Structure 1
Amino acid sequence: MASAKLINSAPPFPDTLPVANLLKISLSSLISGDPASANAVLTACRTLGFFQLDLANTPIGEAMTHLVDSIFPVIHETMELPLHQKMEYTQDAPRSFIGYKALGVMKTASGAPDNCEFWTIAEDGILGTTVPEQPMPSSLGTQRGVFKEYLAHGRAVVEYIFHALAAQLHIPHDAFTQFHDPTRKSGTIIRLLQYAPGTPRHEEEEENKEEEPGLPAHTDFGSITLLANVLGGLQVLNPRGEWEWVRPEAGCLIVNMGDAMVEWTAGVLRSNMHRVVCAPGEQAGLRRVSFAMLVRPFKEARMERLVGGSIPSVERDREEGMEKIGVGIDGMTAWEWELKKAMALKEGRDCARSHGGREL
């Protein structure tokens, strides 16, 4: 997450909203191998599928906080480019989802056009080791070194999370990291997002307002997502089926499990539904900028169960339903699985829902 200086430069997040109870876990404690923190990671990843990662008091965390603060102005500068310049780098979907996505290309649940534009930067295209460097406007191209450094720190952070989960699940230390070799082609990306501003509202107006998401509610179909933002707007679905706000916390990253972690653990870990709506209160009048590192396996990784044993009947029924739409088939490669998942979503064959969270 951004520094306290950047968080405090925005209008305050309202105090009257229903806020998700995300566990706050210290990166420092994970690095030291603290068993209680590792257990907290498993608890968070089995229940809500989200937690706050406190970056304080670690060299990696302090470096990432500094990089987050430096990347936000880059997003603003890039999104302010004339539309015709941005469209030169538009995504060639469904062949490629790398590059620029303009406002209104996707539809929300109500059928309204989305109000989010984003730029997807491939890790492969930044590192330039497995594919040619990704074409970018100069505002992004001059920052390749910054993105490369952020990816390196982000991978280190994710490895600590992987190791904590592996220890708690009693599987080999490298059970998850083995599928995330950065020297092999992968779908890992950095996504720079900007949501159109709304109309500032008083706190009492928030309670009865029907929210329209900027993008369709969804789960992430990678492994782990690291999210940095300044303004509110992110909401997660609680176990009662109610949307709750995530309050931005200075110096913390928002971490959530993706669908791949559900597959590898046969539904033990949870990939939870989330969405982004207009920022609350006085924050609504600002353009909401954020960026996420979406960590995905290398393309030949096998989507096979690492833990979880046999699947109870209710989970088996859900898995069979997923297989009918070509998603979550044990033994597929990560690339085959991601393509089928993306096409199912695009064609409306995938019912948006949370996955996982069962007992071992």
Structure 2
Amino acid sequence: MASAKYFASQPAFPNDLQPVAQIATVSLAKLVARDTGEAEAVLHACRTLGFFLLDLTGDPVGESLIAEVDAVFDVVRQTMKLSVDEKNKFAQDPPRDFRGYKAQGIMKTETGAPDRCEFYNVSQDDLLGQSSAPRTNPDPIAAHTQLLRSYLEHGQFALTHILRALATQLELLPDTFRDLQAPNRASGTIMRLIRYAPSLTSADMRTGLLPHTDFGSVTLLANVLGGLQVLLPHSAPEDENSWQWVRPQPGCLIVNMGDAMVEWTGGVLRSNMHRVNYAPGDQRYIDRYAIAMLVRPYKEAPMSRLKGGRIPTVEDDKCEGVEIANDNANSVGNLTAYEWELTKAMSLKEGSDCARSRGGRQLKPKQVAVLC
């Protein structure tokens, strides 16, 4: 997340706002040091709410990332201040190409109303120089390619330690999740530069982005103003009392699990519904900027359930009486990650996405060595 200095330059998150989600904070420095307790905290957070705050302070790479968040926010601001005509020169062309600019109002919210956000997707493959057809970007992005590449690489560093903590806690090989989304393989991983319009009237005080789950594997989010809300586990999205505000914290990224992690773990990890509402208090009167690193598997990655460790088997599904991770257990595992993501992305764009919170099922017990 941005620095404390950047937070101080923005209207404050209201102290009396309710309800505010109770989200665990995990230290990147402790994950890098392979602290077992911190790894257990990651697994617990990813099985319950599906969200946690990643404290970047105290780690050299994390400290660099904090400074880069401040700098990238300026890139977001410069990009979104371009004229609509200029931004539309770089418009997305889905489903052929999801890179580039999406104008406000193209997507729908849960009520059928137009969304209230605009964003620009920058491809990881483009930034790392491994795309056969790199995208041309507007001047503010083109001029800061090195900054965006560094941000991405530092984000991948943090992601590596999150993924290794989860794999070891699930008694899988340490790089199991890392290998499924290795940054040197072609993927749909993007940096999304986002602007939400201010809520200047009562009519603007509504959902800006419909309730959804992320269809990738992991999201690393940086934002300063409130607006993000998470759904309480085991609650219906129609129940307004079950939506809780997420309070951003200086020096912390907001991390959440995506649908791919649910698929691979047979429903152990949780992909929780969330939405973006209007910013609370005086924050609603200004532009809300965010940077989302949306991590996705490499394009040919199988979406089938992993085997071994503490992940339930298919046989366990028959007797546990809980919802299976797969919406269509006979077909999802046969899809590549690219095919699977394409279907989900188009549903979200059309406002017909029927995503729901999934995961959080019981683990297999830890293996205990028996001495003979």
Query: What is the TM-score with the length of structure 1 in the denominator?
Result: 0.92
Q: Which residue of 1 aligns with 2:313?
A: 309
- Structure 2 letter corresponding to 1:334: A
Give the match's secondary structure for 1:113. Answer: coil
| C-alpha distance in structure 2 between counterparts of 1:272 and 1:315, whole Å | 21
| C-alpha distance in structure 2 between counterparts of 1:314 and 1:246, whole Å | 36
CA 1:191/1:168 → structure 2, altered by over 3 Å: closer, same or farther? same
1:220 aligns with 2:214: yes
Q: Which residue of 1 aligns with 2:239?
A: none
Contact 1:184 1:298 in 2 (8 A): yes
CA 1:106/1:235 → structure 2, altered by over 3 Å: closer, same or farther? same
Contact 2:304 2:334 in 1 (8 A): yes
CA 1:340/1:316 → structure 2, altered by over 3 Å: closer, same or farther? farther
Contact 2:326 2:332 in 1 (8 A): no
Q: How does 1:100-249 map to 2 (within 5 A)?
A: 100-199=101-200, 212-239=206-233, 241=235, 242-249=242-249
User: Which sits farther off after the overlay, 263-272 or 233-242?
Assistant: 233-242
| C-alpha distance in structure 1 between counterparts of 2:156 and 2:14, whole Å | 33
CA 1:169/1:292 → structure 2, altered by over 3 Å: closer, same or farther? same
* Cα displacement string for residues 321-357 of structure 1 (whole angstroms, at most 9, x for unaligned residues): 8229x9x711321111112222344456542211111
| C-alpha distance in structure 2 between counterparts of 1:270 and 1:85, whole Å | 40
| C-alpha distance in structure 1 between counterparts of 2:323 and 2:63, whole Å | 42
Q: Which residue of 2 aligns with 1:6?
A: 6
Q: Which residue of 1 aligns with 2:72?
A: 71
| C-alpha distance in structure 1 between counterparts of 2:165 and 2:325, whole Å | 30
CA 1:68/1:314 → structure 2, altered by over 3 Å: closer, same or farther? farther
CA 1:211/1:171 → structure 2, altered by over 3 Å: closer, same or farther? farther
Task: Extract unaligned runs of 5+ from structure 2.
Answer: 236-241, 364-372
CA 1:212/1:73 → structure 2, altered by over 3 Å: closer, same or farther? same
Q: How does 1:313-324 map to 2 (within 5 A)?
A: 313=318, 318-319=323-324, 322-323=327-328
Deviation at residue 314 of structure 1 after TM alignment: 8.8
Give the match's secondary structure for 2:255. Answer: strand
- Structure 2 letter corresponding to 1:255: V
- Structure 1 letter corresponding to 2:268: V
| C-alpha distance in structure 2 between counterparts of 1:320 and 1:142, whole Å | 42
* Cα displacement string for residues 76-135 of structure 1 (whole angstroms, at most 9, x for unaligned residues): 111010100000000001211110000110111111111100001110111122333321
Deviation at residue 320 of structure 1 after TM alignment: 8.9
Contact 2:13 2:281 in 1 (8 A): yes
| C-alpha distance in structure 2 between counterparts of 1:264 and 1:109, whole Å | 28
Using the aligned pairs only, state the percent identity. 52
Deviation at residue 67 of structure 1 after TM alignment: 0.4
CA 1:151/1:3 → structure 2, altered by over 3 Å: closer, same or farther? same
User: Which sits farther off after the overlay, 341-350 or 187-196?
Assistant: 341-350
| C-alpha distance in structure 2 between counterparts of 1:179 and 1:157, whole Å | 16
Q: How does 1:247-262 map to 2 (within 5 A)?
A: 247-262=247-262
Deviation at residue 312 of structure 1 after TM alignment: 2.7
Q: Which residue of 2 aligns with 1:205?
A: none
Contact 1:127 1:133 in 2 (8 A): no
| C-alpha distance in structure 1 between counterparts of 2:362 and 2:323, whole Å | 16
